[in-house]
Structure 1
Amino acid sequence: MPAPETNAVSIAVPGYVAELLEKKYEQYNRPDFIPQDPISIPHRFSLKQDIEIMSFWASILAWGQRKTIINKCLELVELMDGAPYDFVRNHQDSDLKRFLAFKHRTFNATDTLYFLHFFRDFYQKHDSLEEAFLQGMSTGDQTVEGALRGFHDLFCSLEDFPARTRKHIATPVRKSSCKRLNMFLRWMVRQDDRGVDFGIWTRIQPRQLVCPCDVHVDRVSRHLGLITRPQTDWQTATELTASLRQLDPKDPIKYDFALFGLGIEGYV
């Protein structure tokens, strides 16, 4: 059964805010945004599965300075011999020793090895990682809440799952805003001709996405009156998305570019 959805309060968005967000969306949703952002990592690849694997990893490791995140992702690519999909499907146990020194903040070798284990198991059965997010979701869902719940349960279901790794896979069940996974889904699902987001998944729709609430987006959104909830959690993310849906019901998360860009500019 699909997970129950959070009913977000709709906030009337003033015209001047709508104009600002549209202007900044046009400014930042372009290829020159890519090189300094973690999305540059999957843009190094053309094979769908390589893009999925490195998009997922880049989003999960996306905390801290962007330069550091990019460097750690490049390290992972090198450890996987420059071919993530081929490596996760065909590596030998002896190949895993090279990952024992990998670490990024609280993400360590134990987490890394389980990610590889999950990818190998999943891609032996499925062609695309999109399938992992469809198990808890139906086409009529307003948001990807059910997809995130279902993915969390699937990801954590393999034998010998290390309990410590659970903290890296957010879920609305724990009231998380699911910032990193929402960013990953944006990359995979949003479809336009700008060249930043990939839009390689088709069964989840852009209208169902939830805005990633990183510190920049959260701060700017509060300043612009798009969020009223005091804390930042899943309900906050859906509240922000409901506000953005007023501006573009079919593609509300395109304004993530604008909110993030304003934050980087020091707008607030």
Structure 2
Amino acid sequence: MIDRQSDCAVHNAALAQRMHALKPHLDRLYGTWNRAEFVSPDPLEAVRVFDDPGDCEVAGLIASSLAFGNVKQILASIDLVLTTMKRPAAWLDRATERTIRSAFEGFRHRYSTGTELSDMLVGAKLLRERFGSLGVAFAACMPVDDDDISNGLESFVALLRSDGRENYLLPNPARGSACKRLHLYLRWMVRSDAVDLGCWGGVAASKLLVPVDTHMHRIAMRLGLTARNAADLRTSREITAAFRVIAPEDPVRYDFALTRLGIRKDTNAEPFLAECSGHLLR
């Protein structure tokens, strides 16, 4: 037991040293890339066109749930759904279940179907009817003393799956996957800066987990924030714990800027990673 505690203390000290060495580089990257002008190409651009928080939370749920596959296809599928709805919150609140299912009967995004989209939207409608907003619903799902949003997210997804059916658009957090799209949605809704919308006031940014996609996973491994090969919930928690060392109130702060290095065609991660590696080796 003593050896294990000693090893943990050594690991934590080494991680703290690494993160404080990386912080100036991460802050410069944040200052350069965390701007609205660099959102495109990203599903978030389809959400940012709305001003009303209700429209944002409904559009955000749709956009994040469809954020898999080719970015051009993602944006086209999101546009198809949001063009049908026009004002997403008002449309959803007025619509009957039959209206929703009829509107998206022929919808398909890769291997997800109109039935899955309609199931999710019906669940969202029921939550808005019950709680007034999805944000209030999520806050009600959050255990007060939890360190992160994992349990709250699991309860929230269970409520959204009002019929209890499996739904690829709403992965089950209890299974230990990274649930990247759901964590992306929470980042958009909870954080507030030049990029993220901050529509929800009842959830602390300090409890968010980093959305781990292939870009974030690769960069985090190169920076020494994780050695895990699986992009799962444990890896997300490990990466988030590293960022909490330097940004305890906002551990997801650097997510957008870091992932630009893998997503945008006008830049790449190698110069940044080389700069960080050179500093760490001094």
Unaligned runs of 5+ in 1: 1-8
AA aligned to 1:267 is A
Equivalent of 1:26 in 26, 31, 35? 31
Give me the identity figure in percent: 31
More helix by share: 2
The answer on 1:243 being equivalent to 2:247 is no
Check whether the contact 2:135–2:200 (CA below 8 A) recurs between aligned residues: yes
Shift of 1:15: 4.5
For residues 130 and 94 of structure 1, what CA distance do their matches in structure 2 show? 24
Check whether the contact 1:24–1:261 (CA below 8 A) recurs between aligned residues: no
Aligned pairs, how many? 254
Q: How does 1:33-52 map to 2 (within 5 A)?
A: 33-52=38-57
Q: Which residue does the alignment assign to 2:206?
A: 207
For residues 122 and 89 of structure 1, what CA distance do their matches in structure 2 show? 10
- Residue 112 to residue 95, structure 1, CA distance change in 2 (3 Å): closer
For residues 153 and 66 of structure 1, what CA distance do their matches in structure 2 show? 28
Q: Which residue does the alignment assign to 1:3?
A: none
Check whether the contact 2:62–2:78 (CA below 8 A) recurs between aligned residues: yes
Check whether the contact 1:24–1:257 (CA below 8 A) recurs between aligned residues: no
For residues 214 and 94 of structure 1, what CA distance do their matches in structure 2 show? 34
Shift of 1:28: 1.6
| Structure whose CA Rg is larger | 2
For residues 257 and 116 of structure 1, what CA distance do their matches in structure 2 show? 27
2:48 is paired with a residue whose SS is: helix
Shift of 1:21: 1.5
Check whether the contact 2:117–2:169 (CA below 8 A) recurs between aligned residues: no
Question: In angstroms, what is the RMSD of aligned CA positions?
Answer: 2.0
Q: How does 1:107-122 map to 2 (within 5 A)?
A: 107-122=112-127
TM-score norm. by structure 2 comes to 0.83
Shift of 1:169: 1.7
Q: Which residue does the alignment assign to 1:140?
A: 145
- Residue 257 to residue 95, structure 1, CA distance change in 2 (3 Å): closer
For residues 236 and 24 of structure 2, what CA distance do their matches in structure 1 show? 21
Q: Which residue does the alignment assign to 2:179?
A: 178
Instruction: Report Cα offsets for 1:2-29 as digits up to 9, x if no partner.
Output: xxxxxxx853425443222211111121
The answer on 1:233 being equivalent to 2:232 is yes
Unaligned runs of 5+ in 2: 1-10, 271-282
Shift of 1:134: 2.6
AA aligned to 2:198 is G
Q: Which residue does the alignment assign to 1:153?
A: 158
1:55 is paired with a residue whose SS is: helix
For residues 247 and 171 of structure 1, what CA distance do their matches in structure 2 show? 30
For residues 14 and 245 of structure 1, what CA distance do their matches in structure 2 show? 9
AA aligned to 1:229 is R
- Residue 95 to residue 127, structure 1, CA distance change in 2 (3 Å): closer
Bigger mean CA deviation after superposition, 121-130 or 178-187: 121-130
Q: Which residue does the alignment assign to 1:67?
A: 72
For residues 205 and 41 of structure 2, what CA distance do their matches in structure 1 show? 24
Shift of 1:246: 1.1
* Shift >6 Å, 4+ stretches: none
Shift of 1:125: 1.7
TM-score norm. by structure 1 comes to 0.87
AA aligned to 1:266 is N
Instruction: Report Cα offsets for 1:204-233 as digits up to 9, x if no partner.
Output: 111111000011010011011011223221
For residues 91 and 155 of structure 1, what CA distance do their matches in structure 2 show? 17
Q: Which residue does the alignment assign to 1:85?
A: 89
- Residue 139 to residue 94, structure 1, CA distance change in 2 (3 Å): closer
For residues 231 and 95 of structure 2, what CA distance do their matches in structure 1 show? 40
For residues 44 and 191 of structure 1, what CA distance do their matches in structure 2 show? 16
Instruction: Report Cα offsets for 1:72-125 as digits up to 9, x if no partner.
Output: 111001222x11112112125356423111111121011022122112222222
Instruction: Report Cα offsets for 1:218-256 as digits up to 9, x if no partner.
Output: 001101101122322101000000001112111110110
